[in-house]
């Protein structure tokens, strides 16, 4: 069973909360569930949607089409008619006149008195989303009791009267559909009482950081990284951390560097433009060898770009941010489990090697809600590296402690402020072993080489890519990094039905790359297809530069949406039909040009 709902309407109509409630409702029924949101970059207005995909099998990404749409306004009918699955259903408020739109004869249209049902039970116009949710569950015969319990939990802080009215509105929508004989024709009953947790990519990054010992988080709000800040501020006391909203991104990075210098594991979160402002301070962390973790949640660029849509366009910026050469690590989780564990690992790497570590996520992973197994926190071990734990030996007169002592592995002992005999200078200038500024040519070369020496041991910390699908005899190998693992995983099953044996090589440890591990993972791969959410195949370039691996085809998408599994499948089938010949570059762009930002453009 694989079924897709979509709730859609104007911002402020409760689309996002209704979508998340639907995710919870079906997760509690034992299903695998994904809640994928879309919305334009507007403070108010515009068109919002949440697609809720449910299945009794393992799923990883949203589907391109949908089975049942809950249309809270006329825009929803217009925007989503063409993406309906064959034989789909649209439930809409009877106050909407759909006759002006081009309707599909195979899509069933059901007008419901959503506003009237809500008002009749003492609710407000804003509550019709709750009536619509009840109606949608009735259409697939899902038990109402589960929704009622969920409403009580979700609205507990708003008082009994609000709870009662919302339950009544949901029940009114549910009963109207049942009494009217409206049915999708497919029953969805709770599959089991096994409960998974639901979490977004950003929440997983936050939870992983906390489990990894993070004590200080600083950020200036910037979509799509903002929900990390929101979540941590809400949980600040529960987690015994400090989450600070700063006046800007420059301040956020400097706050975090200061906290880290004082001994607190620290992280900042931002997106492209905010990270651009942080890069000078990133160099300060590198020069002073102060551990820092950056959650860089990508959106479209350059400049403001498309602030609420997705892309994997910041890899090169992350790799080359700040002037000069210095070691860093780039990690890119492909799902929420990886987001949790890599976030915790990032803090270990930052402290063990006294370097900046960047976690590259994107809008798609960061804001999509996934049902998942609970995180196994016992797997997380905190490693603080060469952190001085007690008083240092007394120093001889006229000598200073060598904070930046030249070592074989490039990592020197780190003493926190207040450590007896460990006083030192941490500066943005090049320095000698004690930390004092130095313009000695020889010392400059030694310190550069010392920092670079960390890379040898760091390479051993970089995990090999994961391999899925056909282990032998693969005709095609998809190669991804970060979140594009998700649609590629779903594409494996679709390609199997097309008779194409396919496997997937998914990278999470992006830099530094271990050439031997890369070549081993890609051995006997058949035709290789890089799947990236950017216009220049950035990671394919890194594979060529650092591992001398050249892939056969680059499948690229950069219109603001991530890949859908159906799109990957379609393009691979085309490649096979062409005998795997033709242009190396394959561009995938959405066929429907729907601008949620400006409904007036479409005459709505």
Structure tokens at 268: 């900042």
Gap between the Cα atoms of 470 and 416, Å rounded: 50
Nearest CA among 295, 287, 288, 226 for reference residue 266: 295
pLDDT at position 44 is 75
Contact 517, 483 (CB under 8 A): no
Gap between the Cα atoms of 349 and 269, Å rounded: 17
Count of CB atoms situated within 10 Å of the CB of 170: 30
Count of CB atoms situated within 10 Å of the CB of 374: 9
Residue 175: burial class (beta carbons within 10 Å; 0-12, 13-18, 19+): middle
Q: What is the pLDDT of residues 434-492, one digit of tens each?
A: 999 999 999 999 999 999 999 999 999 999 999 999 878 899 999 999 999 999 999 99
pLDDT of 291 > 70? The answer is: yes
Top-level CATH class of 199-379? alpha beta
- The total number of residues shown for the chain amounts to 604
As a whole number, the mean pLDDT across the chain is 95
Delimit the domains of the chain by residue range: 2-179, 199-379, 386-461, 464-587
pLDDT of 499 > 70? The answer is: yes
Q: What is the pLDDT of residues 329-382, one digit of tens each?
A: 999 999 999 999 999 999 999 999 999 999 999 999 999 999 999 999 999 999
Structure tokens at 230: 């929101």
| Sequence-ordered alpha helix ranges (H) in 124-159 | 128-139, 144-154
| Residue 466 host element (H or E) | strand 466-469
Gap between the Cα atoms of 295 and 363, Å rounded: 12
Q: For residue 485, what are the contacts with CB-CB under 8 A and spacing of at least 6? A: 60, 334, 335, 466, 504, 506
Which whole number is the average pLDDT over 157-166?
91
Gap between the Cα atoms of 490 and 358, Å rounded: 27
Which whole number is the average pLDDT over 5-11?
93
Fold match between 199-379 and 464-587?
Answer: yes
Q: Is the pTM of this model over 0.85?
A: yes
Which whole number is the average pLDDT over 146-173?
93
Top-level CATH class of 2-179? alpha beta
Which whole number is the average pLDDT over 40-56?
90
Q: How many percent of the chain have pLDDT more than 70? A: 99
Gap between the Cα atoms of 525 and 520, Å rounded: 10
pLDDT band at 12 (very low <50, low <70, confident <90, very high): confident
pLDDT of 593 > 80? The answer is: no
CA distances from 397 to 394, 418, 421 (A): 9, 19, 12
Gap between the Cα atoms of 186 and 183, Å rounded: 8
pLDDT of 566 > 80? The answer is: yes
| Sequence-ordered alpha helix ranges (H) in 301-453 | 315-320, 336-353, 363-367, 441-452
Gap between the Cα atoms of 119 and 328, Å rounded: 58
Gap between the Cα atoms of 24 and 147, Å rounded: 9
Count of CB atoms situated within 10 Å of the CB of 589: 12
- Residue whose token pair is 């005709």: 475
| DSSP notation for 391-419 | PPPPPPTT----TT---TTS---B--TT-
Q: For residue 591, what are the contacts with CB-CB under 8 A and spacing of at least 6? A: none
Under CATH, which architecture does the 464-587 domain have? Answer: 3-Layer(aba) Sandwich (3.40)
- Residue whose token pair is 């650092």: 546
pLDDT at position 597 is 64
Contact 584, 540 (CB under 8 A): no
| Sequence-ordered alpha helix ranges (H) in 158-235 | 160-179, 201-211, 226-234
Structure tokens at 263: 């001994």
Which whole number is the average pLDDT over 139-165?
93
Strand 84-93 to strand 108-112: parallel, antiparallel, or no bridges (unpaired)? parallel
| DSSP notation for 10-77 | ETTSSHHHHHHHHHHHHHTTT-EEEEEEE--S-SS-SEEEEEEEEESS---S--SSEEEEEESSHHHH
Structure tokens at 80: 């989503």
Q: Give yes or no for a cis peptide into 410 (omega within 30° of 0).
A: no
Q: For residue 196, what are the contacts with CB-CB under 8 A and spacing of at least 6? A: 27, 32, 371, 372, 373, 374
Nearest CA among 223, 221, 219 for reference residue 40: 223
pLDDT at position 599 is 66
């Amino acid at each position: 069973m694989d079924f897709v709902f979509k709730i859609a309407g104007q911002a402020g109509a409760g689309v996002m909360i209704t979508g998340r409630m639907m995710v919870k409702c079906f997760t509690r029924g034992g299903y695998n569930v994904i809640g994928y949101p879309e919305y334009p970059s507007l403070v108010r207005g515009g068109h919002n949607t949440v697609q809720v995909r449910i299945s009794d099998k393992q799923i990883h990404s949203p589907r391109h089409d949908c089975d049942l749409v809950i249309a809270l306004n006329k825009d929803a009918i217009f925007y989503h008619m063409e993406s309906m699955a064959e034989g789909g259903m649209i439930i809409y408020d009877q106050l909407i006149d759909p006759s002006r739109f081009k309707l599909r004869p195979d899509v069933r249209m059901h007008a419901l008195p959503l506003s009237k049902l809500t008002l009749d039970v003492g609710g407000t116009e804003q509550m019709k989303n709750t009536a619509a949710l009840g109606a949608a569950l009735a259409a697939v015969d899902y038990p109402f009791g589960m929704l009622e319990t969920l409403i009580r939990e979700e609205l507990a802080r708003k008082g009994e009267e609000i709870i009662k009215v919302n339950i009544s509105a949901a029940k009114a929508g549910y009963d109207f559909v049942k009494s009217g004989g409206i049915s999708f024709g497919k029953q969805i009953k709770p599959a089991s009482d096994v409960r998974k947790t639901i979490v977004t990519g950003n929440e997983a990054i936050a939870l992983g950081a906390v489990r990894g010992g993070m004590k200080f988080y600083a950020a200036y709000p910037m979509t799509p990284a903002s929900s990390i800040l929101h979540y941590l501020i809400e949980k600040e006391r529960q987690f015994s951390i400090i989450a600070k909203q700063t006046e800007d991104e420059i301040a956020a990075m400097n706050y975090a560097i200061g906290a880290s210098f004082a001994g607190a594991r620290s992280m900042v979160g931002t997106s492209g433009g905010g990270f651009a402002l942080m890069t000078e301070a990133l160099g300060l962390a590198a020069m002073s060898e102060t551990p820092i973790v950056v959650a860089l949640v990508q959106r479209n660029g350059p400049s403001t770009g498309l602030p609420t849509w997705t892309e994997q366009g910041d890899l090169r910026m992350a790799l080359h941010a700040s002037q000069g050469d210095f070691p860093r690590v780039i990690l890119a989780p492909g799902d929420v489990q990886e987001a949790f564990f890599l976030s915790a690992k990032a803090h270990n790497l930052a402290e063990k090697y006294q370097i900046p570590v960047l976690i590259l996520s994107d809008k798609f992973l960061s804001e999509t809600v996934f049902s998942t197994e609970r995180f196994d926190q016992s797997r997380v071990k905190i490693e603080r590296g060469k952190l001085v734990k007690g008083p240092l030996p007394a120093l001889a007169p006229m000598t200073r402690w060598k904070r930046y002592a030249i070592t074989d592995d490039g990592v020197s002992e780190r003493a926190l402020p207040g450590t007896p005999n460990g006083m030192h200078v941490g500066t943005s200038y090049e320095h000698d072993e004690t930390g004092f500024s130095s313009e000695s040519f020889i010392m400059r070369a030694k310190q550069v080489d010392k920092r670079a020496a960390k890379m040898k041991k760091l390479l051993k910390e970089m995990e090999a890519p994961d391999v899925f699908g056909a282990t032998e005899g693969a005709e095609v190998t998809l190669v991804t990094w970060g979140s594009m693992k998700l649609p590629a995983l779903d594409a494996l099953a679709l390609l199997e039905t097309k008779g194409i044996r396919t496997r997937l090589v998914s990278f999470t440890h992006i830099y530094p790359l271990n050439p031997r591990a890369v070549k081993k993972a890609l051995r006997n791969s058949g035709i290789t297809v890089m799947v990236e959410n950017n216009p220049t195949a950035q990671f394919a370039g890194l594979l060529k530069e650092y591992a001398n691996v050249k892939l056969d085809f680059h499948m690229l998408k950069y219109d603001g949406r991530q890949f859908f599994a159906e799109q990957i499948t379609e393009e691979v089938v085309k490649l096979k039909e062409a005998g795997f010949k033709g242009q190396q570059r394959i561009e995938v762009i959405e066929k429907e040009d729907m601008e949620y930002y400006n409904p007036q453009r479409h005459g709505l």
